[in-house]
Structure 1
């Protein structure tokens, strides 16, 4: 890659902007989970096990600290992730969303997604969430089989999962189901049963993730017996075939959707758009005409809330992405999309000329990992299969 000056970035237009809100508590920490989630404390004076009002106030104050960085910009989507955001009361959710609408320029038809676990889904509660503005829900099903759910440390069973999906479908116009494959001792037949059960609900969006043993998790220290690589490949190919026949398009490495039902918020991530990140451990990316910046908040909920109350700021890192690192960051995201992105998106989102990655493009194409269409930055089928190898081509 050519040497780049520190001030080499020059954006002609700012990318679309989203808002991510992190809710850091869950009822039980799953053994495979490496997200910033903290098990709620039992026996606290607070009925929910966490200080809901204190956290909502911290989130609103946190958003206010970002307003000078986004004046005049429109927010196109909101994603409330976790943890288990559905543990919040509808009253607090309404307070939070009302405060957001009062402070930012939010699209009238913005996609507003909330993650939920089957164990925290109640019909009346979900009806109230829909009333206060949530219009998309993503449910962490993982599997419909009790034995697999137990192995994954989940607190719900298969019947509760099915009931939760029906409640969600009754209340929200868009529902996503998260499922995992390559589970402990999972057979090809068991994996097929999970997919077929998910398809029976006809939700517009499905996400399928291969279970991986992440560092600093219980499974990393005490790994369960997982299917072999060949067995996992067979399960994946089976999933792909079942989903395609049911009318779902694989539009990202792990995401499948009916026509025009892709997750707008996640598409913005993968197209290297901007996002405000508020909440404990939240990450953000904000572009300016001459730079692209990243931020990270305090990770632990108590530390995060204390920082917001004490100094009015919970940032532990706020830095400009160096020009030499932007190409890899861009390709790390966009190459996950099965249709890729238009070639000119690279300069639009990084502020750099395409020539800085010309050597990497030639190398990836020669290896058969990148489509040779000059108007697209798009992985081939082989490139998607060996995505890490393709992305590494663009490391400085």
Structure 2
């Protein structure tokens, strides 16, 4: 056993208090997924607020995998006989890791938890890290979906974003993904970039569509705290240009068969990201790795969020605990927590899912739901919880109605 395996798990949790009556029947444990965080990148992008750190000349692969598996061991009490429906390797840039290292992680997850027969396993990758044989090896491990961080195909936009690849490399990455056996892959693309016009944004989208990805994540650049862009903001397009980009881009995607199923997610032939759907339908997920978050349900109905030690050097320190904190959600918090995810879906969710996932009666939403319907933010449908088109545009206003 590695030194990391001897760490002590943080004891105790916040006291759980509910003023709402919990359901005693109909409640069931949700599906279980796993998120694995690899925190290193070639370099830190100025817009990125994820827990990512510039990689040195060598990565501590073996030590980090040892820590990941020891971290997983401490979370096995939350599995309760469920098998993993999906795994997502995020970062950072997980494709910096070797196939051997990723194989050890997958083997550890399968042996300790188990995989569903149709498990979806996604690896985030950046075009500047693509190597044909390396990605063939990833595919041979059972990784069956890639998410490629393109962001733009235009040289000046990529330079402004601090990306290490150019447009040609991004196109080659999609070609190599297919050649390596990945028939299911996502392209990440941003809009609202510094100096971007409507024509620029649509040109990026057309190039992305021409690569025939099964899935596109197309989202607006936002200036997040604790980023270089936040402290030194670039000149972004005006609001009317952003609105034009959004409308024209959605129409272009729809005309090529990419159906919008979430705020910034578009899929062809129903190939939605199952791992992300698990988040949005309030499923459970283990989170291992530096800074990883988890959401886990106990058999008695308690729902807990937890997060791991953020800095890689601390995560690899054999003296420190993996878990940095945890919080049990109160019944007052659950309506907002559930809807914050579910209402991102363009078709919403069945109303009955609220009780299944939270253990609370649907009537707990009644006051906020009535007001949201009155304001035209929520569809008046007793069988579904779904935002109207206006509600999608003003999602924050809609969610405010369900704050505790």
Counterpart contact for 2:294–2:307, Cα < 8 Å: yes
Q: 1:140 aligns with which of 116, 140, 149?
A: 149
In structure 2, the residue matched to 1:19 is 34
**Paired residue for 2:368?**
360
| Contact 1:27–1:40 (CA under 8 A) maintained in structure 2 | yes
Number of the residue aligned with 2:158: 149
Matched, 1:247 2:257: yes
Q: Quick one: distance in 1 between partners of 2:237 and 2:355?
A: 42
1:192 Cα deviation from its structure 2 partner: 0.8
Runs ≥4 residues deviating over 3 A: 6-11
**Residues in 2 aligned to 1:18 and 1:161: alpha-carbon distance in whole angstroms:** 29
For 1:342 and 1:249, the matched residues in 2 are separated by 20
- Aligned runs of 1:114-125 on 2, under 5 Å? 114-125=123-134
What is the CA-CA distance between 1:6 and the residue it aligns to?
Answer: 7.2
With structure 2 as the length reference, what TM-score do the two structures score? 0.93
- Tell whether 2:384 aligns with 1:370: no
Aligned to 1:147, the other structure's residue is in SS state helix
Alignment of 1:253-332 (within 5 A): 253-288=263-298, 289-306=300-317, 309-310=318-319, 313-332=321-340
Q: Which whole-Å deviations, capped at 9, do the CAs of 1:70-89 have from their partners, x for residues lacking one?
A: 13112100000000000001
The residue aligned with 1:96 is 105
The answer to whether structure 1 residue 112 and structure 2 residue 113 are counterparts is no
Q: How far apart are 1:354 and its partner, in Å?
A: 1.1
Query: How many angstroms does 1:338 deviate by?
Result: 0.3
Alignment partners' CA distance in 2, 1:108 and 1:263 = 17
Match of 1:45 in 2: none
Q: Say how many residue pairs are matched.
A: 385
CA contact (8 A) 1:24 1:301 kept: yes
Q: Which runs of 5+ in 2 are unaligned?
A: 1-16
Aligned-partner Cα distance in 1 for 2:140–2:23: 43
Q: Using a 3 Å threshold, how does the CA distance of structure 1 residues 9 and 80 change in structure 2: closer, same or farther?
A: farther
Contact 2:185 2:213 in 1 (8 A): yes
How many Å separate the matches in 1 of 2:179 and 2:276?
A: 24
**Structure 2 residue aligned with 1:59:** 68
Matches within 5 A, 1:71-86: 71-86=80-95
Q: Is the 8 A contact 1:283 1:296 kept in 2?
A: yes
Cα contact 1:74–1:107 (8 A) shared by 2: yes
Question: 1:324 is paired with a residue of what secondary structure?
Answer: coil
Q: Give 1:177's aligned residue.
A: 187
1:232 to 236, 242, 261: 242
TM-score (norm 1): 0.95
Give the aligned CA root-mean-square deviation in angstroms: 1.3
Q: Contact 2:23–2:361 at 8 Å: present in 1 too?
A: no
Q: 1: CA distance between counterparts of 2:366 and 2:331?
A: 15
Q: Which one of the candidate residues 55, 63, 88 is aligned to 1:40?
A: 55
Runs of 5+ consecutive residues of structure 1 not aligned to the other structure: 43-48
Aligned equivalents of 1:321, 1:4: Cα separation in 2: 9
1:9–1:291 Cα contact (<8 Å) kept: no
Q: Deviations over 1:62-105 (max 9, x none)?
A: 11111112131121000000000000011111111112111112
Deviation of the 1:388 alpha carbon: 1.1
What is the CA-CA distance between 1:9 and the residue it aligns to?
6.2
User: Offset at 1:310?
Assistant: 2.8
- SS at the partner of 1:330? helix
Contact 1:251 1:337 in 2 (8 A): yes
Contact 2:348 2:384 in 1 (8 A): yes
The answer to whether the 8 Å contact 1:19/1:77 transfers is: yes
C-alpha displacement at 1:369, in angstroms?
0.6
Q: Offset of 1:142 from its aligned partner?
A: 0.2
Equivalent-residue separation in structure 1 for 2:274 and 2:391 (angstroms): 24
